Structure 1
Amino acid sequence: MDWPDLAGRLNGQTHELPVRVYYEDTDFTGIVYHGSYVRFFERGRSDLLRLAGINHADLRDGGRDGPALAFAVRRLNLDFLKTATIDDLLIVRTIVREHRGARIRLDQSIWRGDDLSVKADVEVAVITSAGRPTRLPSPAAGKLASLVSAGDLDQG
């Protein structure tokens, strides 16, 4: 079954992923638990890469004669601005700010309608299976470079 929008969509250089808040995402008050936002941001980053043609499974398998690669979050700063609750529809927006060597910087935000709920400043490292930083293979690096943006996620 083909669901082309399951991974969200690229709107220019901004990736947008809809996320519904389920009971499992909330704490006992019905408000989204802070750790759930980290998972939502991870989904946004993964689906951005997927739509750009960079697949985690291909990197993990190493390709032809290449090392197995993975992405590791090096730094994650979150700003919680407004709460979200059960059954809310959220939009996770992701922009690649910089890609240099083994480092990728991204800005992410989560919106509930016109309200900015959470902002994240993320730095990801490309690493080998031994945990050493490394560059992405040229084809993947080119795909990622085409997504680098100077856009602003604070605007809904």
Structure 2
Amino acid sequence: MTPHRFPLTVYYEDTDMAGVVYYANYLRYIERARSEIVEQCGLDQVAMRSEGLVFVVTRVEADYISPARMADRLEVVTTHRAASPVRWTFDQEVQRGGQVLFRAHVVAVTMTTAGKPVRLPAEIRAMNT
């Protein structure tokens, strides 16, 4: 599968007192990229929510490799697949000019708003066929 690419710029508000991207913001960056992928799959998360379905991240394994700084132009590179009928997995990297700064493996599932796991939407399950 072709990796999804999501460009972003580091702003002052993204940095900590040392002038580098605050560690938790990398999780925000990769979340934004995943939201773009959901939209590109033809899914509307607002409509899903109104139908009682949401995506939930159940696992994140992350490595912080090198810092990003204010005004850096970054790119989130995401490879994703429906690993099973209920689990959606992502390998994500935040890169600056091709250099990997942050790497994460993320697992997400679909649940009802009441907390019951359900199968991934057909648009996502079809990625494995």
Q: Given the two structures, how large is their TM-score scaled by the length of structure 1? A: 0.77
Counterparts of 2:42 and 2:82 in 1: how far apart (Å)? 18
CA RMSD of aligned residues (A): 1.4
1:88 partnered with 2:72: yes
Partner in structure 2 of residue 17 of structure 1: 6
1:97 partnered with 2:81: yes
Q: Specify the code of the residue in structure 1 equivalent to 2:86.
A: A
Aligned length: 128
Whether the aligned pair in 1 keeps the contact of 2:82 and 2:127 (CA below 8 Å) is: no
SS, match of residue 100 in structure 1: coil
Residue 114 of structure 1, CA deviation: 1.9
Partner in structure 2 of residue 144 of structure 1: 124
Partner in structure 2 of residue 49 of structure 1: 38
Q: Specify the code of the residue in structure 2 equivalent to 1:48.
A: I
Q: Give CA deviations for 1:30-49 in whole Å, capped at 9, x if unaligned.
A: 10010000000100100011
Q: Give CA deviations for 1:23-82 in whole Å, capped at 9, x if unaligned.
A: 1111011100100000001001000111121121121111xxxxx100111000101111
Assess, with a 3 A threshold, how the Cα gap between structure 1 residues 24 and 97 changes in structure 2: closer, same or farther: same
Higher relative contact order (CA 8 A, sep 6+): 2
Counterparts of 1:23 and 1:147 in 2: how far apart (Å)? 38
Q: Specify the code of the residue in structure 1 equivalent to 2:115.
A: G
Uncovered stretches (5+) of structure 1, i.e. residues with no partner: 1-11, 63-67, 149-156
Q: Trace 1:1-156 onto structure 2 (pairs within 5 A).
A: 13-62=2-51, 68-136=52-120, 140-141=121-122, 143-147=123-127
Q: After the TM superposition, which parts of structure 1 deviate over 4 Å for at least 4 consecutive aligned residues?
A: none
Counterparts of 1:107 and 1:98 in 2: how far apart (Å)? 12
